[in-house]
Chains A and B, each alone.
Chain A
Amino acid sequence: MKRHIELNTHISGKFNQELENLTNSVLTMGGEVEQQLINTIAAIRENNASIAERVVLNDLKINSMEVQIDDECMRIIAKRNPTAGDLRLIMTVSRATTDIERIGDEICRIAKLVTKDSLPPSELVLSGMLMIAEKVVIMMRGTFDAFARQDERSAVAVYEQDDNIDKNQKELLKQTAIEMKKDPSEMQRWFDVLWAIRSLERIGDRCKNLCEYILFLTYGKDVRHSSMKKTVKKLMK
């Protein structure tokens, strides 16, 4: 049974405020990470090292957000003794921030392609990377929207976008292998490119995790490590 978690119906007005701030903080962090990826795409497209450096520096801000949100979760658990939906919300927020922070790290790794002057020497691979990155931005945006609205159907739809990203990634890896053979002298650069492609794919996976947390939040069922098809069939008849 789906249960929408109402944040503003507790007797304690302060508790309402705390939960609302906590949810908003995750969305702020998510927005920040989304912007990081958008800036990284711009840096790659324009081969602009200063934008990329800014992305790498800005990751410190995201790390600090993770610590702050985790501290706040701990504080609320200690002081408010949350139960049921409130507890699920706090657990979701705590798990989600870990994933969002890791997304930040992956974005940093991609941005370093520009700062280390390691962009792929092949136009084909570069455009393939940018295409996946654009899809990842859309997936990320959808994830945070679904979280903000506690919308499990959107979460499932976003979750399914990852298949397409995985498919694109596999094709791109094949293409990259072909290009690598053509130009084996640039092996170090190609390794960096491979890591960056993998990072893009991992961001998709992290978004999938976030979608699973949304289902945990709204249905109270932990759907990690289980088939999404079966979950959907079972929960959303």
Chain B
Amino acid sequence: MLKLFETETLALSELTEKQTAIHVKDFSVWLNNNAVLNKISMRIPKNKITAMIGQSGCGKSTLLSSFNRMNELNQKYAYEGEVLLHGRNIYNKKENVAKLRTQVGMVFQRPNPFPMSIYENVCFGLRIQGETERRMLDDIVEKSLRNAALWDEVKDRLFDSALLLSGGQQQRLVIARALALNPEVLLLDEPTSALDPLTTLHIEELISQLKKSCTVVIVTHNMQQAARVSDYAVFLHQGELIEYSDSDSLFTMPSKKQTEDYITGRYG
């Protein structure tokens, strides 16, 4: 039978180990002795965009920051289970956390450029890694700014302070900073909640371009954004994974009533 529309998304059940970027196995987290995540198991596909949705406090940001061990900055933190990044358990004792965070970049809700030039912001991570060759740095800065769709706007003022950029530009700069380290995974924690609708659409378009080079996981409160931008979506509620599927199915025919209630605004 003639197929009119091609779909890019594989069913999650068909996902092989090779197509999996992050494999979460029975992962639980306690913060200040409160259970925040309860035995989450999921496979995040490679080179796709996965969105996490759920009410405030449902554990989506905690799960996101578990993927580069940012949660450990909290002193009363305990976990159980495994998170495999391309097959490697990132919670093993020998894991180099600093290196892990270059492989798994993160962008936060509010843009946080460093008080230095645009150029220095982008190559900050590389300098810390010991890279000093100017030509190499120039190339990487240009490539990262291009990939973050910011190059044309800043190419003539690379040495101006990054703090002079607008909110949307700062957020793209922060994305460029993460891209400069050539991450395998990019974690975005509500990257557009402080931006206007048009800039939001530009960032979303940028995100959908980024999946060509890395796996993207995004946490968002904006349901429409999750629907627009994601290939897969996961709905969390009170630390439990309620539903995880390709976002076409989740937003048109969710399998759980709880998900349907949440995405249609009937919850609570």
Q: Are A11 and B198 in contact (CB under 8 A)?
A: yes
The 4 closest A-B pairs by CB, nearest first: A11-B201, A78-B251, A79-B227, A25-B4
- Interface 9-residue window, one of B23-31, B62-70, B118-126, B202-210: B202-210
B8 to chain A: closest residue by CB: A14
Q: Are A14 and B4 in contact (CB under 8 A)?
A: no
Chain A 5-35 against B: per-residue CB contact (8 Å), 1 yes, 0 no? Answer: 0000001111100000100010011000000
Alpha-carbon distance A75/B227, docked complex (angstroms): 10
Does B228 interact with chain A (Cβ within 8 Å)?
A: yes
Chain B 3-31 against A: per-residue CB contact (8 Å), 1 yes, 0 no? Answer: 11100000000000000000000000000
Q: Which of A60, A72, A79, A80 contacts B4 (CB 8 A)?
A: A72
Closest CB of chain A to B120's CB: distance in Å? 30
What would be 7 A-B contacts, judged by CB atoms less than 8 Å apart?
A: A12-B204, A13-B205, A29-B4, A65-B4, A68-B5, A78-B227, A78-B251
Please give, as numbers and ranges, the residues of chain A lying within 8 Å of B2 by CB-CB distance.
Answer: 61, 64-65
Alpha-carbon distance A80/B201, docked complex (angstroms): 12
B6 to chain A: closest residue by CB: A21
Does B247 interact with chain A (Cβ within 8 Å)?
A: yes
Q: Are A72 and B5 in contact (CB under 8 A)?
A: yes
Q: Are B201 and A12 in contact (CB under 8 A)?
A: yes
Chain A residues within 8 Å of chain B by Cβ, number: 22
Q: Are A25 and B228 in contact (CB under 8 A)?
A: no
With A12-B201, A12-B208, A14-B208 known as contacts, the answer to whether A21 contacts B251 (CB < 8 A) is no
Closest CB of chain B to A233's CB: distance in Å? 38
Q: Are A75 and B4 in contact (CB under 8 A)?
A: no
Does B224 interact with chain A (Cβ within 8 Å)?
A: yes
With A79-B227, A79-B228, A79-B248 known as contacts, the answer to whether A12 contacts B205 (CB < 8 A) is yes
Does A131 interact with chain B (Cβ within 8 Å)?
A: no
Please give, as numbers and ranges, the residues of chain B lying within 8 Å of A14 by CB-CB distance.
Answer: 208
Q: Are A11 and B205 in contact (CB under 8 A)?
A: yes
With A11-B198, A12-B228, A79-B247 known as contacts, the answer to whether A74 contacts B5 (CB < 8 A) is no
Q: Is the interface of B mostly helix, strand, loop or mixed?
A: helix
Q: Are A28 and B4 in contact (CB under 8 A)?
A: yes
Alpha-carbon distance A25/B2, docked complex (angstroms): 11
Q: Is the interface of A mostly helix, strand, loop or mixed?
A: helix
Does A227 interact with chain B (Cβ within 8 Å)?
A: no
Please give, as numbers and ranges, the residues of chain B lying within 8 Å of A69 by CB-CB distance.
Answer: 4
Q: Are A81 and B224 in contact (CB under 8 A)?
A: yes
Please give, as numbers and ranges, the residues of chain B lying within 8 Å of A79 by CB-CB distance.
Answer: 227-228, 247-248, 251
Closest CB of chain B to A75's CB: distance in Å? 5
Alpha-carbon distance A61/B3, docked complex (angstroms): 10
Q: Are B1 and A11 in contact (CB under 8 A)?
A: no
Q: Are A81 and B205 in contact (CB under 8 A)?
A: no
Does B96 interact with chain A (Cβ within 8 Å)?
A: no
Q: Are A74 and B252 in contact (CB under 8 A)?
A: yes
Closest CB of chain A to B191's CB: distance in Å? 16
Closest CB of chain A to B67's CB: distance in Å? 25
Q: Which of B5, B198, B251 contacts A25 (CB 8 A)?
A: B5
**Best-buried of B2, B198, B201 by chain A (most CB within 10 Å):** B2
Please give, as numbers and ranges, the residues of chain A lying within 8 Å of B205 by CB-CB distance.
Answer: 11-13
Closest CB of chain A to B253's CB: distance in Å? 9
Closest CB of chain A to B208's CB: distance in Å? 6
